[in-house]
Every structure is written in C-alpha cells, then in structure tokens.
Amino acid sequence: MAAGTNLRTYFEGQWHEGNVPVMRAGDHGAWLGSTVFDGARYVEGIAPDLDKHLERVNRSAEALMITPTVGVAEMLEIVWEGLRLYPAKTPVYIRPMYWGIDSSTLGILPSEEATGFAVCLEEIPIAAPDATTTLTRTRFRRPVLEDAVVNAKAGSLYPNNARMIAEAKAKGYGNALVADALGNVAESASANVFMVKDGVVFTPIANGTFLSGITRARHIANMKAAGIEVQETVLSFADFETADEVFLSGNMHKVTPVVDFDGTPYRHGPVTQWIRALYWDWAHSVAG
C-alpha cells in the first residue's frame, strides 16, 4: 500500500497512472536489496532544493555499486513533466528510485550494466504548522559505514528505522531519538534533529552514521544568514533532557516540533517557529 494517494509513476520512458509494477522477482533489488531512493517536495507550486535531491539519488546509486542512468538535468525535466499533471497547489512527494536488475560475481554483487529507474509521485499533505510529535529512547542504534551503506539513502537501511519506530509506538511515543555506535545522539528514526538551549541551536555533528540531510543543511544556512547561532557538535541524551525546544528536520514536513522526550516536556517555542518561517521565506524567494 502506498503512503499517499493520486499516484503517478514514470517508468520505461513514460508517465503512468497509479502505483504500477516496476520491479521483477529476479531483479537484484527485489531479492538482494540494491535499492536507493530520494525524496523531494512539491508544495504551493514550488519544489525546494529539488536538484539537490536528484543529485543525491545518483550518489546513492553509486554508493550501492549500481550505475545511475539519468542525469540531473534530464531527471528535472521528467519530474516537472509529472508535476504538471497535478493542480499547482497539490502537495506532492517526489521519489526517484534506482535498483539493480542483474547480478554479477556470486550473484551477490549487482551488475554495473543493468539498473532500473523510476519516479513515483504521491499526493501527501504537508503537516500543519502546529502539528507536533514526541520522542523516546530506543535500544536500536545507527550503524557505521563498516556495517552498512550509511553513505546512501538505501532501502536496506529502513528495516532498522522501522523497528525503532515500532518500539517507540509501543511505548506510546511518535518517534525515537537514536544513538550512534558510541551512544551519542545521532538523529531520530526518520529525520535529523535539532535542539535549542538559551537561544542557541544545536544539532549532532555529521559523523558518518546518518545522512546529513539536505533540509538540515538548508536550515543551518538560513539560521546563520538570520544571525541565529547554530552549533554542530556531540550531543548526549542528557543534553536533550535540558533543552528548551527540540524539532525534527526532514524533507517530508521540513520542521516538526517535539513536545516531549521520555517525560521531559518542551514548548513549541519561538525559535522553532522562526526557523520554519525562515525556511518557507527562503523557498518562496528562490522560486520567485
């Protein structure tokens, strides 16, 4: 079942209505996990940082040793062609995807010569500004590069995310605050994380255990341009227990305020609201 509604799929050179089949049972991606994707957003007639998301899906493919077959300029044309099939104000999730088709050595290594490609568009509303979530600890951790392809947005990473969220839901929380291999906070189970203390914004330093997101980088740039002090540093769970505000940063909803972490309450505060406003002011300014 798809996450959204009103799906359209680009596959084999054309757009199709609906959630059409794109992968076969014998494709490497179907049984050995060589799938990568990225996610961008079309909201209010604009698609912020779309080119950066398309660049990253090609880098992700290379990290999984499959060959990206569509350049960014061509992919931009494909995506905008699909977006024009929707009314201009429709909120759309944009998901380009690659997967291995054939195998080579021992059947485990994907062939560099055979790569599948598709783009899926789904109508998914963006969360309202007052929508919030809650966080809890999880026993599951982020892997390191020696254990998993953490330098890619790979489908094979997401079963670990799923069990984090399942554990959080079972405890009555919306998401999980996740540690890296050393026990320091890395991000949430589905998005990067920021905290605010005494007017200063902090976020875990990118250490290779999680994707340092495109939206995360955009928030940091916007904050610095607005004169907000932001520090990328090592953060502990104890740091989050003393924070004034906490919010998640991801492509799906851009800014999601957190109002509780394992019983520690936060307010949906002014800094978080300011950062959200900065993002949309930037997005509309570059679109115009």
Of the candidates 29, 4, 21, 157, the one whose C-alpha atom is nearest the C-alpha of residue 86 is: 4
Share above pLDDT 70 across residues of the chain, in percent, rounded to a whole number: 99
How does residue 288 score in pLDDT terms, banded at 50, 70 and 90? Answer: low
Strands 175-179 and 133-141 turn out to be parallel
The average pLDDT across 18-45 equals 95
User: Is the pLDDT score of 261 beyond 80?
Assistant: yes
Which three-class secondary structure state does DSSP give residue 16? strand
End-to-end distance of the chain based on CA atoms, in angstroms? 36
How does residue 5 score in pLDDT terms, banded at 50, 70 and 90? Answer: very high
Strands, E, within 69-132: which ranges? 92-100, 115-123
pLDDT in tens, 94-127: 999 999 999 877 788 998 889 999 999 999 999 9
Res 105: pLDDT: 72
User: Is the pLDDT score of 1 beyond 70?
Assistant: no
CA distances from 86 to 45, 128, 278 (A): 10, 21, 27
* Domains of the chain and any CATH numbers: 5-123 (3.30.470.10), 133-287 (3.20.10.10)
pLDDT in tens, 185-237: 999 999 999 999 999 999 999 999 999 999 999 999 999 999 999 999 999 99
Position of tokens 């790569």? 115
Residues 6 or more apart whose CB falls under 8 angstroms from that of 218 comprise 48, 49, 279, 282
Res 3: pLDDT: 85
CA 53 from centroid of its chain's CA atoms: 10
